[in-house]
Chains A and B, each alone.
Chain A
Amino acid sequence: MRRLLREPLLHFFLMGTVMFGVYGWLHRGSMSSANEILVTRGQVQNLRLQFERVWQRPATKQELQGLVDNWVKEEIFYREGTAMGLDRDDPVVRRRIGQKLEFILESATPPVPTDAELQAWLDAHPHDYRIEPTYSLRQVYFDPARHGARLEADIAAARRTLESGKAVAGDVTMLPPTMEAVSAIEMTRVFGNEFGEGLRLLPLNSWQGPVRSGYGLHLVELTANEAGRHATLADVRAQVERDLSRARAEEASAAFYDKLRANYAVRIEGDSAVVDPAAKPAN
């Protein structure tokens, strides 16, 4: 409880409440009573600005009148509706208000992480920031449907020809015969997942395979490759900052909920299948 009292957000809320009270007291003359609707100059100006923000031009006199009339109608319906309790137990309203609170929490700009913090995050999540290996290769394609029972023999023969330094056309395909410095993920996009996996252990500058793809089989000659590696902060600073900020916002949001939750005792009636996981003995 003591920690909660030190919670800055709580302070903000309390101050907000106090400010609102003070404001109301100071402006008590202009506060509208139950059956009076006062459209303040500020409100009119807001409607005017909202219109401008959408339409990029000022509202005409007639349009502004329409906006105000509509606002008044909405206000009356809103007041009557809330008086009837229509806002209670309405899933849309409940969710909306909750979402708004969450949204405000999330949009509070968190402090910019220091380099040390960024580095620590990167060190803790090296796999999220791996620089992909890249490959350059030549490939010769074999469509199993076109070779049938001769497939293995045809591939073996083609391989011998290639090893003797002569070219082999393979089956006609739209798949690229050569690829230069292409990342593993791009390789996967073109040939499918298995092919990308199949490349990993191939030696350089010799015809290997057959390697499977989503299309059939390939003899492959890797002409260059660059191993994948863990990124340095300089490589991925923007991404690390984005991800760390996101993680912090999630933590803050969860912590805020925990604190609020601790203020409530929840009882769930009559259904043993449902329990309150946060229930603690009252202290």
Chain B
Amino acid sequence: MSINLPLSRVVATWAGALCAVSVSIAFGQQAAQPVIVSDIGDIQPADATKFYKKPGYSPYAGKHFPERPLFGDEHVHTGWSVDAGMSGATLSPADAVRFARGEELMSTSGQPVRLSRPLDWVAVTDHSDGMGTVAGIREGNVEMMHDATLKRWHDMMHAGPEESRKATMELVAAQSNKRLPPAITDPKYAKSYWEQNTAIMEKYNEPGRFTAFIAYEWTSNAGGGDNLHRNVIYRDGKKLADQALPMTTFQSENPEDLWKWMDNWEKKTGGKLLAIPHNGNLSNGRMFELQMFLGGPMTKDWAQQRQRWEPLFEAIQMKGQSESHPSLSTTDEFAVGYELWDRGNLVQQPKKPGMIEHEYARQALKEGLNVERKLGANPFKFGMAAGTDTHNGLTAAEEDNFFAKFVSAEPRPDRWDENAMKFGDRVVKGWEMTAAGYTGVWATENTRAAIWDAMKRRETYATSGPRMIVRFFGGYDFVPFDARTRNPAIIGYTKGIPMGGDLKKAPQGKAPTFLVAALKDPLSGNLDRIQVIKGWLDRSGKLQEKIFNVAWGDADKRAVGPDGKLPPVGNTVDLKTASWTNTIGDAELITVWKDPEFDAAVKAFYYARVLEIPTPRWTAYDAVYFKVKMDPKVPMITQERAFTSPIWYTP
């Protein structure tokens, strides 16, 4: 028996030939599990007692907690987005969903492409601006209502599902008999893009197997380029989604108006919505500004609204990461030079001093504690998400399979040196694009409702692309022995609360303990370390943060020094072949960590960050495949990572 583990990964072929997953269809997984209903306020994370009662003999009996994170992309544009279409993208929302489901497609630039393995869910978020609301029969276009037949169909379509179905059947019949009212071929009478979009998502949404969310992006560029974009995600299906057209920035650029629109929609339909902001890094200080959009001081109501409607923040995507900035987190060696787009806003108007303080998730989480102290509500109580923001319909976030943001940057020898963005002399280069990311969601099943509910309770984490499994539980009673479990979820949900949740006031003399575990992506690099990042508001009212190394690979050879730093894990990347070996780091890490500096009187939050060992960045795969030599300043090696939603402590 010869055992030679295939730990080094060969150079990928762009055609995605790596993928040996056969795409076929699985059935009968539609578990009829009741959804956790919660009020529309601040939803508390899943309560362990709901999942797990008194322990029986079998540790697996009665398990109803989320067993596997469901990976997806909450940020995908297709040719239907005006800017994507303009830049040449021809793939449609249906294509984007098929790609996310694991099908092989031809990219707009004519290259076959496929994911290494299917995602579990996707939200196609074409821009609502200019989506083209071609008035249709349903919308009751007045000019069209001059036609008696069309008027009748319109009325039927609003008279309940049965009548509506009849109208559609009549329409279909009229079409096949060539007796359609001539006016109907007028573009104005076509179905709206929105209804077409929701129809596509309905067709590809297969509960239990693959979730296709109905979604759109509201693209507010305040002041002409300060990125305040939000992805709006629907929990419900077409029937409710069609009851209103998406909000556009033609109506308003003010996020408060988006929340109003969401509120109106929920009241009218009984459905549920949430919004995920992204690219704080390109907002020139506005994503997490400490005032309202129009300039007034924050109010408690405003803070509550923001927390209610925006439970997640997209912390990494193709236009860089917004988790942490080295100028704000001065002790964070992993923020230095890591996928930073920090020179300007979306149109690269240069930043001024003081802007970066209001752009990054970690700083905002800290500021939120301070706002809560002053107003009694925390506007920045959000969890972590990630998406690609691809504009070519291809959610390809893998380093060895990076199809980039725009069609023009699909794999080509020169893409690294071209301009990803250019506004006058202000340029972002192609190599600066980030091959990221996906959101891992701890949902109880693969349905719109279950994934949405997990997003709402912030039981999510962001990854830069790999699909590592990360568990993070907080409580007061975890003990080191708990880390010897084979299933941290059982102990985690029983003795604590998961990521995204709140720790109750500390019992006398106790400090928070955390059960944290990570399992590598079977296709990606080993794990370097797990860190817990703590932010707090100290007794003097100052915001603080500290990074704790809590578990690491090669523990027999590495130890944390007196300065709290852990020596680097090493590097096995071979740039000549764009490969690495999993001979350093560990396949999984698990530990119980107790906050050694806990002060029961101060507000704090904790989140976990998991780092992989160094692996080739997409630029390295490009250099090998296209045989190009890149400028020495281009990063060729990356440390992929995941960051979880925080757990808050509020005394």
User: With A103-B190, A152-B1 given, is the CB distance from A92 to B245 under 8 Å?
Assistant: no
Residue of A nearest to B102 (CB): A185
Q: What is the CA–CA distance of A192 and B586 in the complex, to the nearest angstrom?
A: 16
CB distance from A219 to the nearest CB of B (A): 12
Among the 9-residue stretches B139-147, B342-350, B381-389, the one with 4 or more Cβ atoms under 8 Å from chain A is B139-147
Q: Does A136 reach chain B (CB closer than 8 Å)?
A: no
Q: Which of A45, A53, A246 has the most CB of B within 10 A?
A: A53
Q: Which of A41, A42, A192 has the most CB of B within 10 A?
A: A192
User: With A16-B185, A50-B133, A144-B3 given, is the CB distance from A107 to B190 under 8 Å?
Assistant: yes
Among the 9-residue stretches A28-36, A79-87, A209-217, the one with 4 or more Cβ atoms under 8 Å from chain B is A209-217
Helix, strand, loop or mixed for chain B's interface? loop
Q: Which of A13, A49, A99, A184 has the most CB of B within 10 A?
A: A99
Q: What is the CA–CA distance of A186 and B208 in the complex, to the nearest angstrom?
A: 12
List the A side residues contacting B193 at CB < 8 Å. Answer: 103
Contact B488 A235 (CB under 8 A): no
Q: Does B244 reach chain A (CB closer than 8 Å)?
A: yes
Q: What is the CA–CA distance of A192 and B524 in the complex, to the nearest angstrom?
A: 10
Q: What is the CA–CA distance of A111 and B168 in the complex, to the nearest angstrom?
A: 12
Q: What is the CA–CA distance of A234 and B2 in the complex, to the nearest angstrom?
A: 47
List the A side residues contacting B134 at CB < 8 Å. Answer: 100, 103
CB distance from B129 to the nearest CB of A (A): 12
Q: What is the CA–CA distance of A148 and B135 in the complex, to the nearest angstrom?
A: 68
Contact B19 A193 (CB under 8 A): yes
Contact A194 B6 (CB under 8 A): yes
Q: What is the CA–CA distance of A210 and B133 in the complex, to the nearest angstrom?
A: 58
Beta-carbon contacts under 8 Å, B473-527 to A: 484, 486-488, 517, 519-523
Beta-carbon contacts under 8 Å, B151-208 to A: 168, 171-172, 175-176, 178, 180, 182-183, 185-187, 190-191, 193, 196, 203-204
Q: What is the CA–CA distance of A175 and B520 in the complex, to the nearest angstrom?
A: 11
Contact A15 B521 (CB under 8 A): no
Q: Does A208 reach chain B (CB closer than 8 Å)?
A: no
Contact A193 B182 (CB under 8 A): no
User: With A8-B178, A100-B187, A197-B20 given, is the CB distance from A216 to B171 under 8 Å?
Assistant: no
Among the 9-residue stretches B23-31, B317-325, B565-573, B611-619, the one with 4 or more Cβ atoms under 8 Å from chain A is B23-31
List the A side residues contacting B25 at CB < 8 Å. Answer: 129-132, 231, 236, 239
Beta-carbon contacts under 8 Å, A66-95 to B: 91-92, 95
Q: What is the CA–CA distance of A55 and B520 in the complex, to the nearest angstrom?
A: 46
User: With A50-B135, A129-B24, A144-B3 given, is the CB distance from A111 to B172 under 8 Å?
Assistant: yes
Contact A109 B517 (CB under 8 A): no
Q: Does B68 reach chain A (CB closer than 8 Å)?
A: yes
User: With A56-B244, A145-B586, A174-B590 given, is the CB distance from A215 to B486 under 8 Å?
Assistant: no
Contact B185 A57 (CB under 8 A): no
List the A side residues contacting B265 at CB < 8 Å. Answer: 56
Contact B245 A100 (CB under 8 A): no
Q: What is the CA–CA distance of A188 and B523 in the complex, to the nearest angstrom?
A: 10
B1-28, CB under 8 A of A: which get 1 and which 0? 1010110000000000001111111110
Contact A189 B68 (CB under 8 A): yes
Q: What is the CA–CA distance of A8 and B5 in the complex, to the nearest angstrom?
A: 62
User: With A13-B185, A130-B25 given, is the CB distance from A242 to B204 under 8 Å?
Assistant: yes
* One of A55, A177, A185 near B261 (C-beta < 8 A): A55
Contact B190 A54 (CB under 8 A): no
Contact B1 A19 (CB under 8 A): no
Tier of interface size on chain A: 35 or more
* One of A54, A106, A152 near B3 (C-beta < 8 A): A152
List the A side residues contacting B415 at CB < 8 Å. Answer: none
Contact B27 A173 (CB under 8 A): no
Contact B186 A172 (CB under 8 A): no
Residue of B nearest to A44 (CB): B142
User: With A46-B141, A144-B5, A215-B520 given, is the CB distance from A188 to B24 under 8 Å?
Assistant: no
CB distance from A234 to the nearest CB of B (A): 11
Q: What is the CA–CA distance of A196 and B522 in the complex, to the nearest angstrom?
A: 12
Contact B3 A210 (CB under 8 A): yes
Contact A53 B487 (CB under 8 A): no
Contact B519 A16 (CB under 8 A): no
* One of B5, B23, B171, B183 near A109 (C-beta < 8 A): B171
Contact A246 B94 (CB under 8 A): yes
Contact A242 B203 (CB under 8 A): yes
Q: Does B85 reach chain A (CB closer than 8 Å)?
A: yes
Residue of B nearest to A175 (CB): B519
Q: Does B86 reach chain A (CB closer than 8 Å)?
A: yes
Contact B588 A174 (CB under 8 A): yes
List the B side residues contacting A50 at CB < 8 Å. Answer: 133, 135, 139, 245
Q: What is the CA–CA distance of A108 and B191 in the complex, to the nearest angstrom?
A: 9
List the A side residues contacting B49 at CB < 8 Å. Answer: none
Contact B196 A174 (CB under 8 A): no
Q: What is the CA–CA distance of A170 and B185 in the complex, to the nearest angstrom?
A: 68
Contact B5 A216 (CB under 8 A): yes
Q: Does A151 reach chain B (CB closer than 8 Å)?
A: yes
Q: Does A24 reach chain B (CB closer than 8 Å)?
A: no
Q: What is the CA–CA distance of A46 and B187 in the complex, to the nearest angstrom?
A: 15
List the B side residues contacting A215 at CB < 8 Å. Answer: 519-520, 522, 587-588
Q: What is the CA–CA distance of A156 and B271 in the complex, to the nearest angstrom?
A: 57
Q: Does B364 reach chain A (CB closer than 8 Å)?
A: no
Contact B469 A174 (CB under 8 A): yes
User: With A107-B191, A174-B487, A174-B517 given, is the CB distance from A54 to B82 under 8 Å?
Assistant: no
Beta-carbon contacts under 8 Å, B582-598 to A: 586-588, 590
Q: What is the CA–CA distance of A239 and B80 in the complex, to the nearest angstrom?
A: 23
List the B side residues contacting A175 at CB < 8 Å. Answer: 519
Q: Does B79 reach chain A (CB closer than 8 Å)?
A: yes
Q: Does A190 reach chain B (CB closer than 8 Å)?
A: yes
* One of A16, A127, A216, A242 near B587 (C-beta < 8 A): A216
Q: Does A113 reach chain B (CB closer than 8 Å)?
A: no
Q: What is the CA–CA distance of A242 and B191 in the complex, to the nearest angstrom?
A: 18
Q: Does B247 reach chain A (CB closer than 8 Å)?
A: yes
Beta-carbon contacts under 8 Å, A131-180 to B: 131-132, 143-145, 151-152, 156, 172-178
* One of B5, B26, B168, B244 near A212 (C-beta < 8 A): B5
Beta-carbon contacts under 8 Å, A214-273 to B: 214-217, 228, 231, 235-236, 238-239, 242, 246
Contact B142 A213 (CB under 8 A): no
CB distance from B333 to the nearest CB of A (A): 25
User: With A108-B175, A132-B26, A246-B94 given, is the CB distance from A19 to B586 under 8 Å?
Assistant: no
CB distance from B17 to the nearest CB of A (A): 12
* One of B85, B185, B261 near A12 (C-beta < 8 A): B185
* One of A92, A104, A131, A192 near B86 (C-beta < 8 A): A92
User: With A55-B261, A109-B171 given, is the CB distance from A193 to B24 under 8 Å?
Assistant: no
Binding site for A on B (CB under 8 A): 1, 3, 5-6, 19-27, 29, 60, 68, 79-80, 82, 85-86, 94, 116-118, 132-135, 139-143, 168, 171-172, 175-176, 178, 180, 182-183, 185-187, 190-191, 193, 196, 203-204, 243-248, 251, 261, 264-265, 268, 469, 484, 486-488, 517, 519-523, 586-588, 590
Binding site for B on A (CB under 8 A): 8-9, 12-13, 15-16, 19, 41-42, 45-46, 49-50, 53-57, 91-92, 95-96, 99-100, 103-104, 106-109, 111-112, 127-132, 143-145, 151-152, 156, 172-178, 183-186, 188-197, 210, 212-217, 228, 231, 235-236, 238-239, 242, 246
What are 27 A-B interface contacts by the 8 Å CB criterion? A8-B178, A12-B182, A46-B142, A50-B133, A54-B245, A92-B86, A95-B85, A95-B86, A103-B190, A104-B185, A104-B187, A109-B168, A130-B22, A132-B26, A152-B1, A152-B3, A172-B486, A174-B486, A185-B21, A185-B118, A190-B68, A194-B6, A195-B522, A196-B21, A213-B522, A214-B522, A216-B587
Given contacts A19-B182, A50-B139, 14 further A-B contacts (CB under 8 A): A12-B185, A15-B182, A42-B142, A42-B143, A55-B251, A95-B85, A100-B134, A131-B25, A172-B484, A173-B588, A178-B60, A188-B117, A212-B6, A214-B522
- Pairs of residues from A and B, 5 with the lowest C-beta to C-beta distance, nearest first: A214-B522, A192-B522, A12-B185, A130-B24, A42-B142
